[in-house]
Amino acid sequence: MAPGEKIKAKIKKNLPVTGPQAPNIKELMQWYCLNTNTHGCRRIVVSRGRLRRLLWILFTLTAVALIFWQCALLISSFYTVSVSIKVHFQKLDFPAVTICNINPYKYSAVRHLLADLEQETRAALKTLYGFSEITSRKRREAQSWSSVRKGTDPKFLNLAPLMAFEKGDTGKARDFFTGRKRKVNARIIHKASDVMHIHNSKEVVGFQLCSNDTSDCAVYTFSSGVNAIQEWYKLHYMNIMAQVSQEKKINMSYSADELLVTCFFDGVSCDARNFTLFHHPMYGNCYTFNNRQNETILSTSMGGSEFGLQVILYINEEEYNPFLVSSTGAKVIIHRQDEYPFVEDVGTEIETAMATSIGMHLTESFKLSDPYSQCTEDWSDVQITNIYNATYSLQICLHSCFQAKMVENCGCAQYSQPLPRGADYCNYQQHPNWMYCYYQLHQAFVREELGCQSVCKEACSFKEWTLTTSLAQWPSEVSEKWLLSILTWDQSQQIKKKLNKTDLAKLLIFYKDLNQRSIMENPANSIEQLLSNIGGQLGLWMSCSVVCVIEIIEVFFIDSLSIIARHQWHKAKGWWARRRAPACPEAPRAPQGRDNPSLDIDDDLPTFTSALSLPPAPGSQVPGTPPPRYNTLRLERAFSSQLTDTQVPAES
């Protein structure tokens, strides 16, 4: 080794190893433990004794594990919310109120459209239960069932045959029309099987639907004949009404002047002009009060029934369809002005001959959107087309999704929901397979197999009115005579008969008080709080700060990767040098003796003292000092003859 290289090596050996200057990872870790500010790592290196060092290793690893655990809990709980409730006392906007008669269309107006369906329904009832309908009312002139049987084949019973199963025998069923038993080769689907247990010994009634494209059939059964008859009738009723134009259906339903007898709001008289027509496919003409007419919303400044909405409704039970509806009254729903009224889902029923008082409490909720919850503020992050002319809600999304699946799979739209663009309502003439497809799709929707429940999200902000309903008999016996007489005289132009209390219903809707409750979600944590909590955990378990964290990142990531990269670079460089080196013939290997490591020396020869400290070679014997050859100690002449001038004279 050259003298300059020796000096460089000695200087490098004496200098402290820092960061990536360390030759390997082990020395880098030793340097970090000796110089770090975290005391546990330093105690691992400087501690004496194996037991103490093992204890410090255990303590340090435990502290590191606790830090990771606590920090993970802090990060996982970062996207939590805190709920704050505020109560305001102020003047409140009155909600929109939609009122519908339970009977959608006047029976006298739609009777000619439903005549064949009702004849087959009465015939099936007589076959199964053996009774005749009371025909005392003038408006109902029931035809004999014999004329139905003697005429042409039944249309509706052939499309969806009604049948009854007895004593758990699912292989045979009694046909409603013929009264005979027939073999059934179809799947039996009970409408209540998902929520309750149906005994096999109980007689069930249902109807069969088959696909025209295939021989696949399904029988939908019910535990009660009432439910089966009404569902079967409703199915054919939707098919018939889907072929009637919107204008004709509006004319066949109730007008605002017929439905609304009297009206008061906030102590001021109102009339039908304050209501907006809303036609519902299953409830006919409905009327909405305070539906933002002329861009104004009515408000109330006081709580109590005297400062709310008071209406008297004319129900007219004689015009009710006997098979479509089985109750008498009206339905009312309270909603926002820009919200679609789902009368069939959340409507409140109003009884006749009763005064129904509905007290309201307004609650306004505001939720945080992603990443705190899965709510949506608008339609931007929901891949469903809104078929309703209203603001977003979860119900709108679900119904829109089902209607889109209906159009996609069945080729037509379901009658009870709005019509999508470019689609037609289902009917027998254009879509003979729609009933079977609809029921199959509805079963998949209930089982959440269509994906609508996973796509649709809850709205982030919404208003909700908590309702408290109370009933009272109206009118009373003492006031019935004069009150009904005056109402009959007032409505003489619209109603051509004397009013009966069973034809009327009184409705009162009001704020119980003007306290508006607001429920708001706020982030429970912030970035500053998260950093403070993590810093507290680091200081508690490792007496560490942000500088220590930066130091750890530098040593364990930057320096370690630098050392690994340098080693890999040297390996690659050596491999490339060996590959580029010219090939030379191998010289014959000379026999080599056994090397003694104790005799290996470099350019810098050891001193005597250091040589004595060299370890002996393993398995070898150090030879001892041989005895001197004494004959070599004799003086020998260097010349054969002595020179004359060097001769010593002999002594005498």
Give the alpha-carbon dihedral of 224, 410, 417, 321, to 10 degrees. Answer: -40
356-372 pLDDT, tens digit each: 999 999 999 988 888 88
- For residue 485, is it within any domain? yes
**Distances from the Cα of 419 to the Cαs of 281, 406, 425, in angstroms?**
10, 11, 7
- For residue 205, is it within any domain? yes
248-272 pLDDT, tens digit each: 999 999 999 989 999 999 889 998 8
Assess whether 350 and 476 both reside in one domain: yes
55-81 pLDDT, tens digit each: 888 888 888 888 888 888 888 877 777
Among 212, 243, 274, the domain-final residue is 243
Assess whether 293 and 400 both reside in one domain: no
Assess whether 119 and 223 both reside in one domain: yes
- For residue 515, is it within any domain? yes
* Confidence class for position 195, pLDDT limits 50, 70, 90: very low
Please list, residue by residue across 391-423, b when 16 or more beta carbons sit within 10 angstroms of its beta carbon and e when fewer do: bbbebbbbbbbbbbbbbeebebbbbbbbbeeeb
Give me the pLDDT at residue 465, please: 92
Give me the pLDDT at residue 406, please: 92
Report which listed range, 31-45, 230-244, 486-500, 554-568, is most confident: 230-244
102-140 pLDDT, tens digit each: 999 999 999 999 999 988 888 877 777 666 554 444 444
Give me the pLDDT at residue 504, please: 92
Provide the 3-class DSSP secondary structure of residue 270. Answer: coil
Greater model confidence, 328 or 172: 328
Q: Is 109 exposed, middle or buried (0-12, 13-18, 19+ CB in 10 A)?
A: middle
Provide the 3-class DSSP secondary structure of residue 25. Answer: helix
Greater model confidence, 293 or 267: 267
Any idea what the CATH number is for the domain that residue 434 is in? 1.10.287.820
- For residue 453, is it within any domain? yes
Which two three-digit tokens encode residue 29? 């870790």
- For residue 143, is it within any domain? no
Range of the domain at 56: 18-80+527-567
Assess whether 454 and 464 both reside in one domain: no
The Cα 621–Cα 623 span in angstroms is 6
Domain total of the chain: 4
The Cα 404–Cα 408 span in angstroms is 6
End-to-end CA distance of the chain: 68
Residue 644, pLDDT above cutoff 80: no
Q: What is the mean pLDDT of residues 550-572?
A: 79
Find all residues with CB under 8 Å of 132, minimum gap 6, and list them.
Answer: 126, 142
Which two three-digit tokens encode residue 151? 């005429």
Q: What is the mean pLDDT of residues 534-544?
A: 77
- For residue 138, is it within any domain? no
Residue 213, pLDDT above cutoff 80: no
Give me the pLDDT at residue 603, please: 46
Mean pLDDT of the chain: 78
Which two three-digit tokens encode residue 424? 């037609």
Q: Is 481 exposed, middle or buried (0-12, 13-18, 19+ CB in 10 A)?
A: exposed
Which two three-digit tokens encode residue 170? 């699912």
Q: Write down the residue that tokens 């009604």 correspond to.
A: 162
Give me the pLDDT at residue 602, please: 47
Residue 288, pLDDT above cutoff 90: yes
3-22 pLDDT, tens digit each: 656 655 655 555 455 555 66
Peptide bond into 371 cis (omega under 30): yes
Is 92:524 a contact under the CB 8 Å cutoff?
A: no
Greater model confidence, 646 or 164: 164
Assess whether 115 and 215 both reside in one domain: yes
* Confidence class for position 165, pLDDT limits 50, 70, 90: confident
* Confidence class for position 336, pLDDT limits 50, 70, 90: very high
* Confidence class for position 214, pLDDT limits 50, 70, 90: low
- For residue 202, is it within any domain? yes
Greater model confidence, 335 or 160: 335
Q: How far is CA 23 from the centre of its chain?
A: 54
Assess whether 258 and 331 both reside in one domain: yes
Give me the pLDDT at residue 500, please: 87
- For residue 573, is it within any domain? no
Residue 505, pLDDT above cutoff 80: yes
* Confidence class for position 645, pLDDT limits 50, 70, 90: low
Assess whether 362 and 479 both reside in one domain: yes
Residue 296, pLDDT above cutoff 60: yes
Please list, residue by residue across 493-530, b when 16 or more beta carbons sit within 10 angstroms of its beta carbon and e when fewer do: eebeeebbbebbbbbbbbbbebebeeebbeeebeeeee
Assess whether 353 and 470 both reside in one domain: yes
Give me the pLDDT at residue 330, please: 95
Name the nearest CA neighbour of 402 among 431, 445, 435, 439: 445
Assess whether 76 and 88 both reside in one domain: no
Any idea what the CATH number is for the domain that residue 96 is in? 2.60.470.10
Give me the pLDDT at residue 359, please: 94
Among 437, 459, 481, the domain-final residue is 459
Assess whether 64 and 25 both reside in one domain: yes
Assess whether 416 and 475 both reside in one domain: no
* Confidence class for position 289, pLDDT limits 50, 70, 90: very high
Residue 217 host element (H or E): strand 217-222
Report which listed range, 22-26, 45-49, 530-534, is most confident: 530-534
Backbone angles phi, psi at 527, to 5 degrees: -65, -40
Tell me the Cα Rg of the chain: 49
Residue 94, pLDDT above cutoff 90: yes
Residue 591, pLDDT above cutoff 90: no
457-483 pLDDT, tens digit each: 888 888 999 999 999 999 898 988 888
Q: What is the mean pLDDT of residues 44-53?
A: 78
Is 59:248 a contact under the CB 8 Å cutoff?
A: no
Backbone angles phi, psi at 211, to 5 degrees: -85, 130
Give me the pLDDT at residue 249, please: 93
Assess whether 69 and 193 both reside in one domain: no
Give me the pLDDT at residue 149, please: 44
173-187 pLDDT, tens digit each: 777 666 667 777 667
Give me the pLDDT at residue 492, please: 73
